[in-house]
Structure 1
Amino acid sequence: MRPPNIIYLHSHDTGRYIQPYGHAVATPNMQRLADSGVLFRQAFCANPTCSPSRACLLTGQSAHSNGMIGLAHRGFSMTDYRHHIIHTLHAAGYTSALAGVQHIAHGPDAPTAIIGYHRFLGPPAVAHEKACEFLANPPSQPFFLSVGFFETHREFPPVGADDPPTNCLPPAPLPDTPEVREDMARYKASARIYDRKVGMILDALERNGLADNTLVINTTDHGIAFPRMKCNLTDSGTGVMLILRGPGGFTGGKVVDGMVSQIDIFPTLCELLGITPPAWLEGTSFLPLVRGEKAEVQDEIFTEVNYHAAYEPMRAVRTRQWKYIRRYDGRTRPVLPNCDDGLSKTVWMNHGWADIAPAEEALFDLVLDPDETHNLAGEPRCASVLANLRARLAKWMQETNDPLLASNRIPAPVGAKVNDPDGISPREEPRLV
């Protein structure tokens, strides 16, 4: 039997803010994908910044293991692009193509010359159209097609008639103000555009008779581009949508509540396709969750941040009930350039956000405090939990040779562009390393 085709649909900055996760964000095409596939309620990225998140998913490794500790367009890169999943798939007889965003290598020929895709179909503005053209004339061998959307990255489009700000509920943990409501309304307008493009690709699969033997993976890089979300190790920053539909049991409108990381996708595909998993993989196949054989395949999820616009070294471990976050920069004020500019950021800035010192250590009870607002790290009653999570995090850092063990300052590569962490905006002139 012919191996299944794979389509990897990925957006910018969407978190879980789409219709299938219960949000008032109209995404009917992603809803029909979820209704016929499998939706993961507790999926997390490995690094809630754009390039590192994608590199982690595509290599099955943490960011400090694959080398992508910052943004590709700012001069960061992976250590070995042969760890990208397409090379494992090429060896198994697949061909590969990219339409739109890739964000893990920089340069005009990066998709083919650096990453190694067989074909580059076109830039983000026409990615959905080029993907549909590809599906109308598919190759004879099984394919891996990556379709990267610019949506829902800032800047958002204008508010649409279907989503008036007066009817918008701001995302937690932001206040309900006119500015935040307008910001969210603009996000919804971007999500509608994104959903229409996904719908075109799903329709093309049906129209060309490819739907039954194509595994569709629909996900995003990290949380939405609002304060305390993107580039943060709270669940609002690391929680991502993840919907799969296709062969291997990814059908029927199932919902999986077991915790998974995006680094688990690569080993899952290896098991599904009968491919020997490469030795570098750090994740675990989640097929047992899909088949109903287990309730969990992970009892802990690890996440990290290194560079975004500015340096902000953080590590975290998450269990079902607890989250432990550790900062390594000793800062007494937020790294504001790592929050994208927008109406919501302005609201927080106008109310003293810049003067609030981030905690060096934070411990949250995710059952009693799901928004992660009450730091329990100093509570004597939580001392044993804190010690356990510290030990788990230290063990993971040792096993993955985390460079933070040697120094709290991980150097950026020569030529990288890095903002001053004491700045205000990512748009300020960066320093050239």
Structure 2
Amino acid sequence: MPPHIVLVHCHDLGRYVGCYGAAVDTPRIDALAASGVRFDRHFVTAPQCSPSRSSLMTGRHPHQNGMLGLAHGNWEVGPHERFLPELLGEAGYETHRFGLQHVTEHPDRLGFDRSHSDEPLTDEVPTSVHETSRAREVSEDVATFLESGDYEDPFFASVGFFELHRVEENGGFGFESERYEGPDPNDVAPLEFLPDRPGIRSDIAEMNGMVRAIDDGVGTIVDALETAGLAEDALLVFTTEHGLAMPRAKGCCFDAGLEAALLMAQPGTLEAGRVVDDLVSNVDVFATLLDIADAPIPGVDTDGDDIAGRSFGPLLFEDEDAYDPRDRVFSGMTWHDRYNPIRSIRTDRWKYIRNFWHLPVVYMTTDVFCSAAGRELHEEYYGRQRPYEELYDLEADPLERENLAAGDGPDDPATATVRDELREELLEWMAATDDPLLEGPVLPNNWETVHPRLADDRDDIWS
């Protein structure tokens, strides 16, 4: 029998946990990493919530599945897309949802057999609604479920934590310092990709308090699997949808915005303490979980639109000869609270970013802009216009500070060749995936422009 699958996912975490080198106390998450496999170069398709989550659930990029903005912004995954819970259900899994999902305003579309949480759970609803998706409370619900035995074999559980999302408070956006006890701002370590300033330290301290809630939630689930005798029969996956809700991260295609934790553990099946350095994308997580579940993968084992992901199951089971490694990953963004069209390509060494609109040198989503950290950097980041092309040598410049495509372009002919090749490859990928940006600006919620084939079926989604 294939394993049970427990997928734990949270908001806006990036890799801000101890096992990835962050200066934050996360003993339970670190123990999970030590007991399983840690992916050190896992990147997502979009540095924002709903679009990235849509890739995790469909194995396709946001501009392929229609989710070019936030679910509560009236964007919606196309009617012909197949979702992970739906496909696992067809393969014989009983499927359960706990906490948030933030993929669609119509969660019945996802195909879960049972929902253990209320809806809606989106960024724009009152904080009281988010109470049903707090890590400590959601994990207790999961523990009760696991220990009750009230499920069929095998089962899939999607467990969504609200944390590490900012909330509106005190005239701005913060991490609920009155609810989550964080350290003194003077005692925290600064973030590598940001300057060390008081407002940024204050946000980091608050963030640390929220991270501890995530860690407690993971620990509760791990303990419940052991108590229920399921630890060796369940694949436990822990991840998030994009980088930290901080400047130069969320809403940006720098690595800090696209990086995400990815841990997988199943005692007795997966080797403990392994670290995988291969480039992987969250569209690959979709394909991998279906592979492990012995379920058909759309576009590979079945008819229909090809998915963008590929299974990295062979990496998990150390059958690397059977794995075709990625040498690049693609990402992008179109709409968030504002129009911010970007596409990017990342290889082992290089990052190329193509910006398609006139915006400040560093875009900040509203929750970041109206934060203590954002206020520290308003003048620096909003006083200049960003270039249309960016190129970074990640070996020499891992924090992506020096844009080698700025001005008249690279002085080094070899670097200019890299820029030209990556530009061409990015455009070829956009064409192959029917990216609407190639046709011009994408209007808000303009389904006819984004996907003409969706227009006739739009009413079916809301029916």
Correspondence for 1:412 among 431, 444, 447 = 444
Tell me the TM-score normalised to structure 1 length: 0.90
Q: What is the rounded CA distance, in whole Å, between the counterparts of 1:336 and 1:236 in structure 2?
A: 13
Structure 1 residue aligned with 2:48: 49
Q: 1:339 to 1:369 in 2, by over 3 A?
A: farther
Correspondence for 1:362 among 369, 390, 399 = 390
Q: What is the rounded CA distance, in whole Å, between the counterparts of 2:182 and 2:46 in structure 1?
A: 33
Q: 1:258 to 1:300 in 2, by over 3 A?
A: same
Structure 2 residue aligned with 1:124: 133
Correspondence for 2:110 among 104, 115, 126 = 115
Which one-letter code corresponds to 2:443 in the other structure? P
Matching of residues 33-72 of structure 1 within 5 Å: 33-72=32-71
CA contact (8 A) 1:288 1:297 kept: no
Given the alignment of the two structures, is residue 347 of structure 1 paired with residue 376 of structure 2, yes or no?
yes
Query: 1:97 Cα shift?
Result: 0.9
Structure 2's unaligned 5+ residue stretches are 118-131, 167-173, 300-305, 448-463
Structure 1 residue aligned with 2:9: 10
SS at match of 2:288: helix
Structure 1 residue aligned with 2:340: 312
Higher mean displacement: 383-392 or 313-322: 383-392
SS at match of 2:248: coil
Correspondence for 2:185 among 153, 160, 165 = 165
Which one-letter code corresponds to 2:100 in the other structure? V
CA contact (8 A) 1:312 1:329 kept: yes
Q: What is the rounded CA distance, in whole Å, between the counterparts of 1:161 and 1:130 in structure 2?
A: 23
Correspondence for 2:223 among 178, 203, 223 = 203
CA contact (8 A) 2:97 2:159 kept: yes
Q: What is the rounded CA distance, in whole Å, between the counterparts of 2:163 and 2:73 in structure 1?
A: 20
Q: 1:146 to 1:161 in 2, by over 3 A?
A: closer
Structure 2 residue aligned with 1:281: 307
Query: 1:81 Cα shift?
Result: 6.7
Query: 1:293 Cα shift?
Result: 4.0
Q: What is the rounded CA distance, in whole Å, between the counterparts of 1:216 and 1:336 in structure 2?
A: 33
Query: 1:140 Cα shift?
Result: 2.0
Which one-letter code corresponds to 1:130 in the other structure? D
Q: 1:402 to 1:162 in 2, by over 3 A?
A: closer
Structure 2 residue aligned with 1:89: 88
Q: What is the rounded CA distance, in whole Å, between the counterparts of 1:212 and 1:326 in structure 2?
A: 45
Higher mean displacement: 36-45 or 173-182: 173-182
Tell me the TM-score normalised to structure 2 length: 0.84
Higher mean displacement: 28-37 or 125-134: 125-134
Q: What is the rounded CA distance, in whole Å, between the counterparts of 1:358 and 1:250 in structure 2?
A: 44
Query: 1:82 Cα shift?
Result: 4.8
Q: What is the rounded CA distance, in whole Å, between the counterparts of 2:268 and 2:241 in structure 1?
A: 24
CA contact (8 A) 1:121 1:127 kept: no
Q: What is the rounded CA distance, in whole Å, between the counterparts of 1:80 and 1:257 in structure 2?
A: 35
Q: What is the rounded CA distance, in whole Å, between the counterparts of 1:134 and 1:25 in structure 2?
A: 30
CA contact (8 A) 1:55 1:78 kept: yes
Structure 2 residue aligned with 1:22: 21
CA contact (8 A) 1:81 1:115 kept: no
1:184-239 superposed Cα distances (whole Å, 9 cap, x missing partner) = 01100000011111111111111101111111110011000000101110000001
Structure 2 residue aligned with 1:424: none
SS at match of 1:132: helix
SS at match of 2:116: strand
Given the alignment of the two structures, is residue 144 of structure 1 paired with residue 144 of structure 2, yes or no?
no
Given the alignment of the two structures, is residue 98 of structure 1 paired with residue 109 of structure 2, yes or no?
no
Q: What is the rounded CA distance, in whole Å, between the counterparts of 2:21 and 2:404 in structure 1?
A: 29
Structure 1's unaligned 5+ residue stretches are 416-433
Percent identity over the alignment? 37
Q: How many residues were matched structurally?
A: 408
CA contact (8 A) 1:81 1:114 kept: no
Q: What is the rounded CA distance, in whole Å, between the counterparts of 2:428 and 2:400 in structure 1?
A: 24
Q: What is the rounded CA distance, in whole Å, between the counterparts of 2:153 and 2:316 in structure 1?
A: 27
